[in-house]
Amino acid sequence: MPTFTTSDGTEIYYTDWGAGKPVVLSHGWPLSSDAWAAVAKLLADAGYRVISHDRRGHGRSTNTDLGHDMDTYARDLAELVEHLDLTELVVIGHSTGGGEVVRYAAQHGKGRVRKVVTAGAVPPVMVQSETNPEGTPIEVFDGIRAGVLADRSQFYKDLAVSFYGFNREGAKVSQGLIDDFQRQGMLAGLVAAYNCVKVFSETDFTEDLKALDVPILIAHGGDDQIVPIAAAADKAIKLVSDGTLKVYEGAPHGVAGDYQDALVADILEFIAD
């Protein structure tokens, strides 16, 4: 099982598949690198070396109560990239992972990153405020924290329904996806899952987006109920200097099914030389 140890002693688990120019995948909350498994295989089959890591406190990485802030998450990613000595790198992040790769690329990726891709990503900032009226009210995130504390096993099963859009009329419900969301969520430490809510909801990525000096593909589901597009991709695309916005009409937050197939095709087109 490949792991490396960060500068503060945290062990980070990762997978490393395929050969070719490197791609790093960062997962969303409260999941693990397993959320990217199918996409990672498809990218590896297309001729890329694909690395997926479990964020600290999540999956098979150290169940630590320390370092749950976006600067540390981005530093962990930077240290993994340096450990593997990756260059000509594409970084791809979903949801919280989208914020992670944006901050990493802006603050650590100079000379290593060639392109960035986000999907259903949290930047610029999720929480509602006077300057971000389209954002999600803080009470929603308070409710997530309460659910994690009260009965996170059931909470994750319930959350998976809107995550994958299974509450929409005509949706084909996959109990397997719901169960796997719960499985991955339960691998995250309680403190990590709880504290990461503040990280993904309140971190402001505005300056990171402005600082990006490489092309970015901003992908978002048009029916994303977790990270609504109006406060996320619609704003992020206006802040970057070299961005492409791709909206998947009717697609949910979770990357699966037809949405996954379309996203992979667009990623491969975007990252091709």
pLDDT along the chain (273 residues), means of 10: 93 98 98 98 98 98 98 98 97 98 97 98 97 96 98 98 97 97 98 98 98 98 97 98 98 97 98 92
The residue from 34, 54, 208, 224 that is catalytic is 224
Q: Residue 88 is inside which H or E element, if any?
A: none
Contacts of 137 (CB under 8 A, 6+ apart): 127, 128
Q: What is the pTM of this model?
A: 0.97
* Residue 198 confidence (pLDDT): 98
Q: Is 224 among the catalytic positions? A: yes
- Superfamily per CATH, domain 3-271: Alpha/Beta hydrolase fold, catalytic domain (3.40.50.1820)
Q: Is 7 among the catalytic positions? A: no
The residue from 27, 53, 220, 253 that is catalytic is 253
Domain extent listing, the chain: 3-271
Residues 49-89: pLDDT tens digits?
999 999 999 999 999 999 999 999 999 999 999 999 999 99
* Token pair of 96 as six digits: 């919280």
Comparing CA positions, the residue from 42, 37, 52, 41 lying closest to residue 2 is 52
Across the strands, what pairs with 53?
14
Q: Is 253 among the catalytic positions? A: yes
* Residue 187 confidence (pLDDT): 98
Pair 27, 120: CB distance under 8 Å = no
Q: Residue 16 is inside which H or E element, if any?
A: strand 11-17
DSSP count for the chain of H helices, then E strands: 9, 8
* Residue 273 confidence (pLDDT): 80
The residue from 26, 33, 52, 95 that is catalytic is 95
Contacts of 53 (CB under 8 A, 6+ apart): 12, 13, 14, 15, 24, 26, 33, 61, 76, 77, 80
* Residue 1 confidence (pLDDT): 63
